[in-house]
Amino acid sequence: MPVSLASEPADAGKGSELTLGLAPRIAPMLARRTDGLAERTPADLTFGNLWLFRGAHRWRWHDGAWPCISGLAYDGQRLALPLFDVREAPLDELSAIVTRHGGLFPLCEREAEAVASSPFELKACRDDADYIYPAQQFRLYRGRALQKKANLMAQLRTAHRLEVEQYGAHLRDQAVEVLDGWMRDKGKAPGDADDAACRDALSLAPELRLDGFIHWADGQPAGFLLAEELQPGVWVIRFAKGLVRFKGIAQYMFHHFACRSDRQVDWLNFEQDLGLVSFRHTKLSYRPAILLPKWRLMPRNGN
C-alpha cells in the first residue's frame, strides 16, 4: 500500500503533503514546463515520479502565484522544484524561493539559459544527468559496443520459453514476486533501493500513467518493466526488474519495449545514475546519445 508523509501545517512555509489528489492541479503545470522539449525532457518532471518518490525527497506542496514543491535532492541539498517556467518569473520571486528553499531544481536547458545572468549560481551536476537513447539501439543491438547485449538476449531466447503480457493490476502478485526475488538477488533488505516506490507503482500503474509488461520464462514470472511517456514517443523507464537466474532478461525487456507496435517509441530515458559507479557503468554500456544536464539555481557561496 502507498505510504504517505506525515501531514504538516500548510503555514509557516512548511507546505502540505503531496497527495494523489493533487495530480489534476500539478500535472498540467509540469506539462507546461516541458512542452516542446521532445527527447530532452527531464525524467523528473511528471506528477507520478514526484509522488512515487515523495518519501525519499520529503516533498511538500506550496501553492500560490509561483507554486513549487520543496524537499531534498538525493545528495541532501535543500531544493524546490518550480511548477512554473522560471523564464516567466520576476527575479525577486525567484530570489524569494531560492532563499526560502535553498535552490531550484531541476531546470531544463532553455530555463537555465534564461537565468544564466542572474545573481545566483547556476550549475549542473554530472550525477543528475539523464541517459537518453534512440529506441532503435534496443531494437537491433547493432555494432561492436552493443554486441554483448545481443548475445545475452540470444542466450536467453535459446535457453528459455519466453512469453510477454501487458501489465495490469491482475498481475501485481506475480510482479511483486519478481521484485522480492530481485531484492534477494541484489542483497537488499525490504525498503532499500526503490522498493517502496516500485510497490506503489505496481499497485497504481494506471493512475500514475505507467505502461509496461511482465515477462515469463518457462511459465515463471521472470521480469517486469514499467515506463512513462514524457512526450509523444519519448519514454522514461521507471522500473525494470529481472531475476538474475534468467540471464539476458533486462536486455530482452528493453528490446521488447522498443519493438512494441501498439505505441510510438522513439527514445528511451534511463534517468540519472546518482553518482553510483554500478549504475553509471551499466547505463554507459548501452551507449547513450545524450547525457541530458539538469540545472540547479543556488545562492552564490552558499549564501
Q: Where are the domains of the chain?
A: 16-123+296-302, 130-271
| Measured CA angle at 276 (ends 270, 280), to 5 deg | 45
| The pLDDT of residue 301 | 72
Closest CA to 268 of 225, 235, 239, 227: 235
String of DSSP letters for 150-168? HHHHHHHHHHS-EEEEE--
CB-CB neighbours of 38 under 10 Å: 13
Closest CA to 111 of 24, 42, 46, 65: 42
| The pLDDT of residue 9 | 32
| Residue at grid coordinates 545562492 | 299
| The pLDDT of residue 300 | 85
pLDDT tens per residue across span 189-227: 999 999 999 999 999 999 999 999 999 999 999 999 999
Confidence (pTM)? 0.93
| The pLDDT of residue 13 | 59
| DSSP class of 235 | E
Please determine, looking at this structure, whether the domain spanning 16-123+296-302 carries the CATH number 3.40.920.10. Answer: no
The C-alpha atoms of residue 89 and residue 102 are separated, in whole angstroms, by 17
| The pLDDT of residue 40 | 98
Q: Do domains 16-123+296-302 and 130-271 have the same CATH topology?
A: yes
| The pLDDT of residue 10 | 36
Please determine, looking at this structure, whether the domain spanning 130-271 carries the CATH number 3.40.50.700. Answer: no
pLDDT tens per residue across span 76-97: 999 999 999 999 999 999 999 9
Closest CA to 255 of 157, 174, 172, 186: 157
Q: Residue ranges of the chain with pLDDT lower than 70?
A: 1-13, 302-303
